[in-house]
Structure 1
Amino acid sequence: MLAHERHGSGEPLVLIHGVTHRRQAWYPVLDQLAEHREVVLVDLPGHGESPDLVTAGRPVPDVLRDEFKAFLDGLGLVRPHVAGNSLGGLVALYAGANGHARSVTALSPAGFWRTPAEFVYTRQIFTRACVLAARLGPRAELLARSRGGRTVMYGLLTARPGRVSPDQAVGDLRGFLRSRPALATLLAAAEPFTATIPADVPVTIGWAARDLVLPAWQAETARRRLPAAEHVTLRGVGHVPMSDDPRRVADLLLRGSAPAATVAPLARPARRRTDAATA
Protein backbone atom coordinates (compact mmCIF):
# COMPACT_ATOMS: atom_id res chain seq x y z
CA MET A 1 0.00 0.00 0.00
CA LEU A 2 1.27 3.47 -0.87
CA ALA A 3 1.83 5.81 2.07
CA HIS A 4 -1.08 8.20 2.44
CA GLU A 5 -3.22 10.42 4.66
CA ARG A 6 -6.96 11.08 4.69
CA HIS A 7 -8.48 14.35 5.91
CA GLY A 8 -11.86 16.05 5.91
CA SER A 9 -15.18 14.83 4.54
CA GLY A 10 -17.19 15.06 1.36
CA GLU A 11 -16.49 13.80 -2.13
CA PRO A 12 -13.01 12.23 -2.25
CA LEU A 13 -10.19 14.19 -3.88
CA VAL A 14 -6.87 12.38 -4.33
CA LEU A 15 -3.80 14.65 -4.58
CA ILE A 16 -0.57 13.46 -6.23
CA HIS A 17 2.76 15.27 -5.84
CA GLY A 18 5.49 15.79 -8.43
CA VAL A 19 8.67 13.83 -9.09
CA THR A 20 11.17 13.83 -6.15
CA HIS A 21 8.55 15.51 -3.93
CA ARG A 22 6.22 14.00 -1.30
CA ARG A 23 2.64 14.19 -0.14
CA GLN A 24 3.43 17.02 2.28
CA ALA A 25 3.72 19.32 -0.74
CA TRP A 26 -0.07 19.72 -0.44
CA TYR A 27 -0.11 20.83 3.19
CA PRO A 28 -0.44 24.55 2.33
CA VAL A 29 -3.85 23.90 0.70
CA LEU A 30 -5.00 21.01 2.88
CA ASP A 31 -7.10 22.88 5.45
CA GLN A 32 -9.09 24.80 2.85
CA LEU A 33 -9.73 21.68 0.78
CA ALA A 34 -10.66 19.52 3.78
CA GLU A 35 -13.58 21.84 4.56
CA HIS A 36 -15.25 20.65 1.35
CA ARG A 37 -13.68 17.32 0.32
CA GLU A 38 -12.32 14.14 1.78
CA VAL A 39 -8.71 14.81 0.84
CA VAL A 40 -6.37 11.88 0.23
CA LEU A 41 -2.66 12.67 0.06
CA VAL A 42 -0.45 9.93 -1.36
CA ASP A 43 3.27 9.32 -1.85
CA LEU A 44 4.09 7.94 -5.30
CA PRO A 45 6.12 4.71 -5.55
CA GLY A 46 9.75 5.39 -4.73
CA HIS A 47 8.85 8.67 -3.01
CA GLY A 48 8.21 9.77 0.55
CA GLU A 49 7.29 6.80 2.71
CA SER A 50 5.94 4.58 -0.07
CA PRO A 51 7.63 1.37 -1.24
CA ASP A 52 10.25 1.57 -3.97
CA LEU A 53 9.31 1.95 -7.61
CA VAL A 54 9.88 -1.54 -9.03
CA THR A 55 9.16 -2.06 -12.73
CA ALA A 56 10.46 -5.65 -13.21
CA GLY A 57 10.90 -4.84 -16.89
CA ARG A 58 7.37 -3.51 -17.37
CA PRO A 59 6.68 -0.09 -18.95
CA VAL A 60 6.69 2.62 -16.30
CA PRO A 61 3.25 4.01 -17.28
CA ASP A 62 1.75 0.55 -16.78
CA VAL A 63 3.38 0.22 -13.37
CA LEU A 64 2.14 3.64 -12.21
CA ARG A 65 -1.35 2.89 -13.54
CA ASP A 66 -1.57 -0.43 -11.74
CA GLU A 67 -0.07 0.91 -8.50
CA PHE A 68 -2.52 3.79 -8.47
CA LYS A 69 -5.52 1.59 -9.24
CA ALA A 70 -4.49 -0.85 -6.51
CA PHE A 71 -4.17 2.08 -4.11
CA LEU A 72 -7.68 3.30 -4.94
CA ASP A 73 -9.08 -0.21 -4.57
CA GLY A 74 -7.32 -0.65 -1.24
CA LEU A 75 -9.04 2.47 0.10
CA GLY A 76 -12.40 1.57 -1.42
CA LEU A 77 -12.36 4.62 -3.68
CA VAL A 78 -14.33 4.27 -6.92
CA ARG A 79 -13.49 6.97 -9.47
CA PRO A 80 -12.61 9.77 -7.05
CA HIS A 81 -11.66 13.23 -8.18
CA VAL A 82 -7.92 13.21 -8.89
CA ALA A 83 -5.52 16.14 -9.03
CA GLY A 84 -1.78 16.37 -9.32
CA ASN A 85 1.23 18.60 -9.86
CA SER A 86 3.96 17.94 -12.45
CA LEU A 87 4.43 14.15 -12.60
CA GLY A 88 1.38 13.91 -10.35
CA GLY A 89 -0.57 15.87 -12.94
CA LEU A 90 0.47 13.36 -15.58
CA VAL A 91 -0.60 10.47 -13.35
CA ALA A 92 -3.94 12.23 -12.81
CA LEU A 93 -4.46 12.63 -16.56
CA TYR A 94 -3.75 8.94 -17.11
CA ALA A 95 -6.22 8.14 -14.32
CA GLY A 96 -8.82 10.07 -16.30
CA ALA A 97 -7.91 8.28 -19.51
CA ASN A 98 -7.99 4.87 -17.79
CA GLY A 99 -11.43 5.42 -16.26
CA HIS A 100 -10.12 5.70 -12.70
CA ALA A 101 -10.97 9.38 -12.10
CA ARG A 102 -14.28 11.24 -11.89
CA SER A 103 -12.58 14.53 -12.73
CA VAL A 104 -8.96 15.59 -13.31
CA THR A 105 -7.17 18.77 -12.29
CA ALA A 106 -3.52 19.00 -13.33
CA LEU A 107 -1.12 21.74 -12.26
CA SER A 108 1.74 22.16 -14.75
CA PRO A 109 1.51 18.49 -15.71
CA ALA A 110 4.42 16.61 -17.23
CA GLY A 111 4.08 15.13 -20.71
CA PHE A 112 3.57 18.16 -22.94
CA TRP A 113 6.94 18.68 -24.54
CA ARG A 114 6.87 18.33 -28.31
CA THR A 115 10.16 16.55 -29.00
CA PRO A 116 12.74 14.61 -26.95
CA ALA A 117 15.16 17.52 -27.43
CA GLU A 118 12.75 19.86 -25.65
CA PHE A 119 12.67 17.54 -22.64
CA VAL A 120 16.46 17.71 -22.28
CA TYR A 121 16.14 21.05 -20.46
CA THR A 122 13.91 19.57 -17.74
CA ARG A 123 16.01 16.43 -17.50
CA GLN A 124 19.13 18.54 -16.91
CA ILE A 125 17.48 20.41 -14.03
CA PHE A 126 17.00 17.19 -12.09
CA THR A 127 20.35 15.75 -13.10
CA ARG A 128 22.18 18.84 -11.88
CA ALA A 129 20.19 18.82 -8.64
CA CYS A 130 21.33 15.24 -8.00
CA VAL A 131 24.95 16.18 -8.66
CA LEU A 132 24.74 19.19 -6.34
CA ALA A 133 23.14 17.17 -3.54
CA ALA A 134 25.88 14.55 -3.81
CA ARG A 135 28.60 17.19 -3.62
CA LEU A 136 27.07 18.89 -0.60
CA GLY A 137 26.52 15.69 1.36
CA PRO A 138 25.62 16.43 5.01
CA ARG A 139 26.01 20.17 4.40
CA ALA A 140 22.81 20.10 2.33
CA GLU A 141 20.63 20.06 5.45
CA LEU A 142 22.47 23.10 6.83
CA LEU A 143 21.74 24.83 3.54
CA ALA A 144 18.06 23.89 3.78
CA ARG A 145 17.81 25.48 7.23
CA SER A 146 19.13 28.86 6.06
CA ARG A 147 17.00 31.45 4.28
CA GLY A 148 19.61 31.90 1.56
CA GLY A 149 19.89 28.16 1.11
CA ARG A 150 16.14 27.78 0.69
CA THR A 151 16.18 30.53 -1.90
CA VAL A 152 18.69 28.47 -3.89
CA MET A 153 16.85 25.19 -3.31
CA TYR A 154 13.42 26.46 -4.32
CA GLY A 155 14.34 29.15 -6.81
CA LEU A 156 13.34 26.98 -9.78
CA LEU A 157 10.29 25.48 -8.09
CA THR A 158 8.45 28.38 -6.48
CA ALA A 159 8.02 32.09 -6.98
CA ARG A 160 8.23 32.74 -3.22
CA PRO A 161 10.92 30.53 -1.68
CA GLY A 162 10.73 32.53 1.55
CA ARG A 163 7.39 30.91 2.34
CA VAL A 164 9.02 27.49 2.71
CA SER A 165 9.85 26.71 6.35
CA PRO A 166 13.18 25.20 7.43
CA ASP A 167 11.48 21.99 8.57
CA GLN A 168 9.62 21.64 5.27
CA ALA A 169 12.84 22.24 3.36
CA VAL A 170 14.74 19.59 5.33
CA GLY A 171 11.90 17.11 4.83
CA ASP A 172 11.80 17.88 1.12
CA LEU A 173 15.58 17.46 0.87
CA ARG A 174 15.42 14.05 2.52
CA GLY A 175 12.54 13.13 0.23
CA PHE A 176 14.57 14.21 -2.79
CA LEU A 177 17.54 12.10 -1.75
CA ARG A 178 15.33 9.08 -1.16
CA SER A 179 13.61 9.43 -4.55
CA ARG A 180 16.76 9.52 -6.71
CA PRO A 181 16.49 5.88 -7.89
CA ALA A 182 12.85 6.44 -8.88
CA LEU A 183 13.84 9.70 -10.57
CA ALA A 184 16.38 7.91 -12.78
CA THR A 185 13.76 5.36 -13.82
CA LEU A 186 11.11 8.00 -14.51
CA LEU A 187 13.41 10.26 -16.52
CA ALA A 188 14.56 7.36 -18.66
CA ALA A 189 10.96 6.41 -19.42
CA ALA A 190 9.53 9.93 -19.89
CA GLU A 191 7.23 10.29 -22.88
CA PRO A 192 4.58 12.78 -24.03
CA PHE A 193 0.96 12.39 -22.96
CA THR A 194 -1.16 11.45 -25.96
CA ALA A 195 -3.95 9.38 -24.39
CA THR A 196 -7.62 10.18 -24.90
CA ILE A 197 -9.72 11.18 -21.90
CA PRO A 198 -13.45 10.35 -22.15
CA ALA A 199 -15.75 13.30 -22.72
CA ASP A 200 -17.61 12.71 -19.45
CA VAL A 201 -14.44 13.32 -17.37
CA PRO A 202 -14.02 17.07 -16.75
CA VAL A 203 -10.40 18.17 -17.09
CA THR A 204 -8.85 21.38 -15.77
CA ILE A 205 -5.26 22.31 -16.59
CA GLY A 206 -3.66 25.06 -14.52
CA TRP A 207 -0.25 26.20 -15.72
CA ALA A 208 2.08 28.40 -13.70
CA ALA A 209 3.08 31.48 -15.68
CA ARG A 210 6.46 31.50 -13.88
CA ASP A 211 7.14 27.79 -14.36
CA LEU A 212 10.89 27.27 -14.82
CA VAL A 213 10.78 23.45 -14.80
CA LEU A 214 8.07 22.77 -17.38
CA PRO A 215 8.04 26.15 -19.17
CA ALA A 216 4.71 27.86 -19.70
CA TRP A 217 4.91 27.45 -23.48
CA GLN A 218 4.07 23.80 -22.87
CA ALA A 219 0.61 25.01 -21.89
CA GLU A 220 -0.01 25.68 -25.58
CA THR A 221 0.80 22.05 -26.35
CA ALA A 222 -1.62 20.98 -23.63
CA ARG A 223 -4.34 23.13 -25.18
CA ARG A 224 -3.86 21.47 -28.54
CA ARG A 225 -3.79 17.92 -27.16
CA LEU A 226 -6.70 18.47 -24.74
CA PRO A 227 -8.94 20.97 -26.53
CA ALA A 228 -12.04 20.15 -24.44
CA ALA A 229 -10.31 20.90 -21.13
CA GLU A 230 -10.52 24.16 -19.24
CA HIS A 231 -7.10 25.81 -19.40
CA VAL A 232 -6.14 28.33 -16.72
CA THR A 233 -3.00 30.46 -16.47
CA LEU A 234 -1.82 30.91 -12.88
CA ARG A 235 0.13 34.14 -12.74
CA GLY A 236 2.68 34.94 -10.06
CA VAL A 237 3.37 31.33 -9.04
CA GLY A 238 6.04 28.76 -9.82
CA HIS A 239 6.10 25.13 -10.87
CA VAL A 240 5.03 23.96 -7.40
CA PRO A 241 2.39 26.63 -6.72
CA MET A 242 0.81 25.37 -3.50
CA SER A 243 2.96 27.44 -1.12
CA ASP A 244 3.12 30.45 -3.45
CA ASP A 245 -0.63 31.08 -3.38
CA PRO A 246 -2.52 28.46 -1.36
CA ARG A 247 -5.94 30.08 -1.66
CA ARG A 248 -5.84 30.39 -5.44
CA VAL A 249 -4.60 26.83 -5.88
CA ALA A 250 -7.22 25.46 -3.47
CA ASP A 251 -9.95 27.38 -5.29
CA LEU A 252 -8.85 25.86 -8.60
CA LEU A 253 -8.82 22.36 -7.13
CA LEU A 254 -12.28 22.82 -5.64
CA ARG A 255 -13.66 24.17 -8.91
CA GLY A 256 -12.09 21.37 -10.91
CA SER A 257 -13.62 18.77 -8.59
CA ALA A 258 -17.01 20.45 -8.24
CA PRO A 259 -19.78 17.83 -7.82
CA ALA A 260 -21.82 19.45 -10.59
CA ALA A 261 -19.07 18.54 -13.03
CA THR A 262 -19.55 14.85 -12.29
CA VAL A 263 -23.06 14.54 -13.72
CA ALA A 264 -22.94 16.56 -16.92
CA PRO A 265 -20.78 15.40 -19.86
CA LEU A 266 -17.96 17.73 -20.77
CA ALA A 267 -19.20 19.15 -24.06
CA ARG A 268 -17.75 22.58 -24.54
CA PRO A 269 -15.27 24.13 -26.96
CA ALA A 270 -11.70 24.71 -25.93
CA ARG A 271 -11.38 27.70 -23.67
CA ARG A 272 -8.40 29.84 -22.99
CA ARG A 273 -8.81 31.38 -19.58
CA THR A 274 -6.65 33.42 -17.26
CA ASP A 275 -7.58 33.09 -13.60
CA ALA A 276 -9.50 36.27 -12.85
CA ALA A 277 -7.94 36.46 -9.42
CA THR A 278 -4.53 36.89 -11.03
CA ALA A 279 -5.37 39.72 -13.38
Structure 2
Amino acid sequence: MTSSPPEPLAYDRSGNGEPLVLVHPLGADRGMWDPVIGLLGGNHDTIAVDMPGFGESPELPEEVPATAGAIAASIEATLDSLGIDRAHVVGNSLGGWVALEFAKSDRCLSVTTLCAAGFWGRPLGPRPEIARSTARRLVPALRPLLATKRGRGLLLRGPVAHPERVPAEAAYRLVRAYALAPGFDRANAEMRRTLFSGFEEISVPITMAWAEYDRSVSAPAQVPTRVRAEFLADCGHIPTWDDPQRVAEVILATAARAAQDAEVQRSA
Protein backbone atom coordinates (compact mmCIF):
# COMPACT_ATOMS: atom_id res chain seq x y z
CA MET A 1 0.00 0.00 0.00
CA THR A 2 1.34 3.44 -0.89
CA SER A 3 0.99 6.31 1.55
CA SER A 4 -1.02 9.36 0.62
CA PRO A 5 1.07 12.46 -0.11
CA PRO A 6 1.14 14.97 2.76
CA GLU A 7 -1.69 17.49 2.80
CA PRO A 8 -1.04 21.23 3.17
CA LEU A 9 -1.59 22.59 6.66
CA ALA A 10 -3.90 25.34 7.87
CA TYR A 11 -1.99 28.59 8.36
CA ASP A 12 -2.08 32.32 9.06
CA ARG A 13 0.10 34.42 6.78
CA SER A 14 1.23 38.03 7.11
CA GLY A 15 4.20 40.33 6.58
CA ASN A 16 6.76 40.75 3.83
CA GLY A 17 10.24 39.42 3.17
CA GLU A 18 11.86 36.00 3.14
CA PRO A 19 9.38 33.27 4.14
CA LEU A 20 9.46 32.19 7.78
CA VAL A 21 7.42 29.22 9.03
CA LEU A 22 6.32 28.99 12.68
CA VAL A 23 5.52 25.58 14.22
CA HIS A 24 3.66 25.34 17.54
CA PRO A 25 4.18 22.87 20.42
CA LEU A 26 2.28 19.67 21.10
CA GLY A 27 -1.13 20.51 22.51
CA ALA A 28 -1.33 24.05 21.13
CA ASP A 29 -2.15 25.59 17.76
CA ARG A 30 -0.84 28.42 15.60
CA GLY A 31 -2.44 31.03 17.87
CA MET A 32 0.46 30.75 20.33
CA TRP A 33 2.56 32.75 17.86
CA ASP A 34 0.20 35.75 17.90
CA PRO A 35 2.34 37.79 20.33
CA VAL A 36 5.36 37.73 17.99
CA ILE A 37 3.72 37.86 14.55
CA GLY A 38 3.68 41.65 14.43
CA LEU A 39 7.34 41.78 15.48
CA LEU A 40 8.40 39.51 12.63
CA GLY A 41 6.21 40.70 9.77
CA GLY A 42 8.32 43.76 8.96
CA ASN A 43 11.16 41.44 7.97
CA HIS A 44 9.46 38.24 6.88
CA ASP A 45 6.55 36.67 5.06
CA THR A 46 5.42 34.88 8.21
CA ILE A 47 3.47 31.62 7.99
CA ALA A 48 2.18 30.16 11.27
CA VAL A 49 0.90 26.61 10.68
CA ASP A 50 -1.26 24.15 12.59
CA MET A 51 0.43 20.75 12.81
CA PRO A 52 -1.57 17.76 11.50
CA GLY A 53 -4.45 17.00 13.85
CA PHE A 54 -4.20 20.36 15.64
CA GLY A 55 -6.14 23.56 15.12
CA GLU A 56 -7.69 23.49 11.66
CA SER A 57 -5.29 21.02 10.04
CA PRO A 58 -6.43 17.50 9.13
CA GLU A 59 -4.81 14.54 10.84
CA LEU A 60 -2.17 12.51 9.06
CA PRO A 61 -3.48 9.37 7.34
CA GLU A 62 -3.77 6.44 9.74
CA GLU A 63 -0.97 4.56 8.01
CA VAL A 64 1.49 7.44 8.55
CA PRO A 65 3.10 7.59 12.02
CA ALA A 66 2.86 11.11 13.43
CA THR A 67 6.62 11.57 13.75
CA ALA A 68 8.43 14.88 13.66
CA GLY A 69 9.69 13.92 10.21
CA ALA A 70 6.18 13.28 8.90
CA ILE A 71 5.02 16.63 10.26
CA ALA A 72 8.00 18.29 8.56
CA ALA A 73 6.88 16.71 5.28
CA SER A 74 3.50 18.41 5.76
CA ILE A 75 5.31 21.74 6.04
CA GLU A 76 6.98 21.04 2.70
CA ALA A 77 3.56 20.31 1.20
CA THR A 78 2.30 23.62 2.58
CA LEU A 79 5.19 25.51 1.00
CA ASP A 80 4.49 23.74 -2.29
CA SER A 81 0.87 24.87 -2.16
CA LEU A 82 2.02 28.46 -1.62
CA GLY A 83 4.64 28.37 -4.38
CA ILE A 84 7.47 28.87 -1.88
CA ASP A 85 10.80 27.17 -2.51
CA ARG A 86 12.76 27.84 0.69
CA ALA A 87 11.98 29.25 4.13
CA HIS A 88 13.37 29.92 7.57
CA VAL A 89 11.71 27.71 10.17
CA VAL A 90 11.03 28.25 13.87
CA GLY A 91 9.51 25.75 16.28
CA ASN A 92 8.59 25.50 19.95
CA SER A 93 8.89 22.19 21.84
CA LEU A 94 7.73 19.41 19.48
CA GLY A 95 7.57 22.15 16.88
CA GLY A 96 11.29 22.69 17.47
CA TRP A 97 11.98 19.04 16.76
CA VAL A 98 9.86 19.34 13.61
CA ALA A 99 11.84 22.42 12.61
CA LEU A 100 15.11 20.51 12.95
CA GLU A 101 13.74 17.70 10.79
CA PHE A 102 12.67 20.23 8.16
CA ALA A 103 16.14 21.78 8.32
CA LYS A 104 17.63 18.53 7.02
CA SER A 105 16.08 19.34 3.63
CA ASP A 106 17.55 21.75 1.09
CA ARG A 107 14.47 23.95 1.48
CA CYS A 108 15.51 25.44 4.81
CA LEU A 109 17.30 28.79 5.13
CA SER A 110 17.81 28.73 8.92
CA VAL A 111 16.33 27.00 11.96
CA THR A 112 15.47 28.41 15.38
CA THR A 113 14.12 26.23 18.18
CA LEU A 114 12.51 27.34 21.42
CA CYS A 115 12.66 24.73 24.20
CA ALA A 116 12.95 21.91 21.66
CA ALA A 117 11.66 18.43 22.41
CA GLY A 118 13.65 15.33 21.55
CA PHE A 119 16.73 15.92 23.70
CA TRP A 120 15.91 13.94 26.83
CA GLY A 121 18.54 11.43 27.91
CA ARG A 122 16.52 8.42 26.73
CA PRO A 123 13.12 7.81 25.13
CA LEU A 124 10.42 8.77 27.62
CA GLY A 125 8.00 5.93 27.00
CA PRO A 126 4.21 6.12 27.42
CA ARG A 127 2.48 7.71 30.39
CA PRO A 128 -1.11 8.57 31.30
CA GLU A 129 -2.03 12.13 30.33
CA ILE A 130 -3.81 13.00 33.59
CA ALA A 131 -3.57 16.76 33.05
CA ARG A 132 -5.15 16.43 29.62
CA SER A 133 -8.00 14.34 30.99
CA THR A 134 -8.63 17.04 33.58
CA ALA A 135 -8.58 19.74 30.90
CA ARG A 136 -11.15 17.82 28.84
CA ARG A 137 -13.51 17.64 31.81
CA LEU A 138 -13.11 21.38 32.34
CA VAL A 139 -13.86 22.40 28.74
CA PRO A 140 -17.46 23.53 29.44
CA ALA A 141 -16.21 25.83 32.20
CA LEU A 142 -12.99 27.00 30.56
CA ARG A 143 -14.08 30.38 29.26
CA PRO A 144 -15.31 31.83 32.59
CA LEU A 145 -12.46 30.18 34.48
CA LEU A 146 -9.80 31.62 32.18
CA ALA A 147 -11.42 35.05 32.23
CA THR A 148 -9.88 35.46 35.69
CA LYS A 149 -6.20 35.92 36.46
CA ARG A 150 -6.48 33.27 39.14
CA GLY A 151 -7.90 30.78 36.65
CA ARG A 152 -5.16 31.49 34.13
CA GLY A 153 -2.58 31.09 36.86
CA LEU A 154 -4.03 27.72 37.81
CA LEU A 155 -4.22 26.27 34.29
CA LEU A 156 -1.22 27.91 32.60
CA ARG A 157 1.43 27.83 35.31
CA GLY A 158 2.98 24.73 33.73
CA PRO A 159 3.79 26.03 30.23
CA VAL A 160 3.94 29.79 30.90
CA ALA A 161 6.04 31.67 33.46
CA HIS A 162 3.63 34.63 33.56
CA PRO A 163 0.05 33.43 33.03
CA GLU A 164 -1.22 36.92 33.82
CA ARG A 165 0.29 38.12 30.54
CA VAL A 166 -1.85 35.75 28.48
CA PRO A 167 -5.14 37.36 27.36
CA ALA A 168 -8.25 35.46 28.43
CA GLU A 169 -9.27 34.47 24.89
CA ALA A 170 -5.75 33.31 24.03
CA ALA A 171 -5.66 31.25 27.22
CA TYR A 172 -8.98 29.65 26.30
CA ARG A 173 -7.73 28.79 22.84
CA LEU A 174 -4.52 27.27 24.21
CA VAL A 175 -6.13 25.10 26.89
CA ARG A 176 -8.96 24.02 24.59
CA ALA A 177 -6.43 22.99 21.93
CA TYR A 178 -4.52 20.98 24.52
CA ALA A 179 -7.69 19.25 25.70
CA LEU A 180 -9.35 18.47 22.40
CA ALA A 181 -6.76 18.22 19.59
CA PRO A 182 -7.49 14.96 17.74
CA GLY A 183 -3.85 14.59 16.73
CA PHE A 184 -2.47 14.82 20.26
CA ASP A 185 -2.29 11.15 21.20
CA ARG A 186 -0.55 10.01 18.02
CA ALA A 187 2.00 12.84 18.02
CA ASN A 188 2.65 12.45 21.74
CA ALA A 189 3.22 8.71 21.41
CA GLU A 190 5.76 9.17 18.61
CA MET A 191 7.49 12.04 20.41
CA ARG A 192 7.95 9.95 23.55
CA ARG A 193 9.21 6.93 21.62
CA THR A 194 12.41 8.39 20.15
CA LEU A 195 15.06 11.11 20.33
CA PHE A 196 16.26 13.69 17.81
CA SER A 197 19.35 12.79 15.81
CA GLY A 198 20.94 14.14 12.67
CA PHE A 199 22.64 17.47 13.34
CA GLU A 200 25.21 16.42 10.75
CA GLU A 201 22.45 16.56 8.10
CA ILE A 202 21.78 20.25 8.75
CA SER A 203 23.95 22.79 6.95
CA VAL A 204 22.07 26.02 7.70
CA PRO A 205 22.49 28.26 10.77
CA ILE A 206 20.96 26.73 13.91
CA THR A 207 19.91 28.55 17.07
CA MET A 208 18.51 26.68 20.06
CA ALA A 209 16.93 28.80 22.80
CA TRP A 210 16.13 27.50 26.28
CA ALA A 211 13.86 29.07 28.89
CA GLU A 212 14.74 29.82 32.50
CA TYR A 213 11.51 28.45 33.96
CA ASP A 214 10.81 25.58 31.58
CA ARG A 215 9.12 22.74 33.47
CA SER A 216 8.98 20.40 30.48
CA VAL A 217 12.43 20.18 28.87
CA SER A 218 15.99 21.24 29.59
CA ALA A 219 18.99 21.99 27.41
CA PRO A 220 20.98 18.92 26.34
CA ALA A 221 24.42 18.39 27.83
CA GLN A 222 26.04 18.48 24.41
CA VAL A 223 25.23 19.80 20.94
CA PRO A 224 27.54 20.58 18.01
CA THR A 225 29.71 23.64 18.57
CA ARG A 226 28.20 25.40 15.55
CA VAL A 227 24.77 25.48 17.25
CA ARG A 228 24.17 28.89 18.79
CA ALA A 229 22.58 28.71 22.25
CA GLU A 230 20.31 31.47 23.57
CA PHE A 231 18.83 31.95 27.04
CA LEU A 232 15.25 33.14 27.52
CA ALA A 233 15.29 34.74 30.96
CA ASP A 234 12.05 34.80 32.97
CA CYS A 235 10.27 32.62 30.39
CA GLY A 236 8.46 29.28 30.51
CA HIS A 237 8.15 26.40 28.06
CA ILE A 238 5.88 28.44 25.77
CA PRO A 239 7.77 31.75 25.87
CA THR A 240 5.86 33.82 23.32
CA TRP A 241 3.60 35.49 25.89
CA ASP A 242 6.28 35.75 28.57
CA ASP A 243 8.65 37.86 26.45
CA PRO A 244 7.59 38.26 22.81
CA GLN A 245 10.27 40.89 22.19
CA ARG A 246 13.08 38.57 23.25
CA VAL A 247 11.65 35.65 21.27
CA ALA A 248 11.38 37.78 18.13
CA GLU A 249 14.92 39.06 18.66
CA VAL A 250 16.31 35.50 18.71
CA ILE A 251 14.36 34.53 15.59
CA LEU A 252 15.35 37.62 13.61
CA ALA A 253 19.01 37.29 14.59
CA THR A 254 19.14 33.73 13.26
CA ALA A 255 17.54 34.69 9.96
CA ALA A 256 19.91 37.65 9.64
CA ARG A 257 22.88 35.36 10.26
CA ALA A 258 21.70 33.12 7.43
CA ALA A 259 21.44 36.13 5.12
CA GLN A 260 24.98 37.20 6.04
CA ASP A 261 26.31 33.70 5.39
CA ALA A 262 24.60 33.64 2.00
CA GLU A 263 26.11 37.01 1.10
CA VAL A 264 29.59 35.80 2.03
CA GLN A 265 29.12 32.71 -0.15
CA ARG A 266 27.98 34.83 -3.09
CA SER A 267 31.01 37.09 -2.70
CA ALA A 268 33.51 34.23 -2.46
Seen in structure 2, the aligned counterparts of structure 1 residues 232 and 53 have a Cα distance that, compared at 3 Å, is same
Aligned residue runs from structure 1 range 199-278, under 5 A: 200-214=203-217, 216=218, 219-221=219-221, 224-258=222-256, 259-264=259-264
Partner of 2:120: 113
Match of 1:79 among 71, 86, 98: 86
String of CA shifts for 1:228-256, please: whole Å, max 9, x gaps.
21011211111111111111111111001
**What residue is the counterpart of 2:96 in the other structure?**
89
2:39 corresponds to 1:41: no
Q: State the percentage of identical aligned residues.
A: 34
- Give 2:184's aligned amino acid: L
Deviation at 1:65, TM superposition (A): 3.0
* AA of the residue aligned to 2:176: R
In the other structure, the counterpart of 2:106 is: 99
Residue 5 (structure 1) aligned with residue 18 (structure 2): no
Deviation at 1:66, TM superposition (A): 2.2
Deviation at 1:11, TM superposition (A): 1.1
Query: Paired residue for 2:143?
Result: 141
Aligned amino acid, residue 213 of structure 1 = S
- CA shift, 1:197, in A, is 4.4
CA distance in 2, matches of 1:134, 1:24: 19
1:196 corresponds to 2:199? yes
Q: Distance in 2 between matches of 1:69 and 1:79?
A: 9
Checking the alignment, whether the CA contact within 8 Å between 2:23 and 2:99 is kept in structure 1 is: yes
Q: Does structure 2 conserve the Cα–Cα contact (< 8 Å) formed by 1:11 and 1:37?
A: yes
1:91 maps to a residue whose letter is V
Q: TM-score, normalised by structure 1?
A: 0.84
| Partner of residue 22, structure 1 | 29
Aligned with 1:154 (options 137, 153, 156): 156
The residue that corresponds to 1:182 in the other structure is 183
Q: Quickly say closer, same or farther: Cα 1:99–1:197, change in 2 above 3 A.
A: farther
Q: How far is the alpha carbon of 1:90 from its aligned partner?
A: 0.7
Asked if the contact 1:200/1:264 (under 8 Å) is kept, the reply is no
Question: Alpha-carbon deviation of 1:61?
Answer: 3.8
Task: Go from structure 1 to structure 2 and tell me whether the alpha carbon gap of 1:210 and 1:34 turns closer, same or farther (over 3 Å shift).
Answer: same
Q: Distance in 1 between matches of 2:243 and 2:84?
A: 29
| Displacement after TM superposition at 1:135 (Å) | 3.2
Distance 2:142 2:17 in 1: 40
Aligned residues: 254
- Do the aligned partners of 1:4 and 1:42 also contact (CA within 8 Å) in 2? yes
Query: What do you get for the CA RMSD once the two structures are aligned?
Result: 2.0
How far does residue 200 in structure 1 lie from its aligned partner after superposition? Answer: 3.4
Deviation at 1:139, TM superposition (A): 2.0
Gapped runs of 5+ residues in structure 1?
266-279
Aligned mates of 1:247, 1:66 — CA distance in 2: 30
* Matched residue, 1:268: none
Q: Give the 4+ runs in structure 1 shifted more than 4 A.
A: none
Distance change in 2, residues 1:262/1:45 (3 Å) = farther
> How far apart, in 1, do the equivalents of 2:137 and 2:65 lie?
33
**SS at the partner of 2:199?**
coil
Change (3 A) 1:39 1:176: same
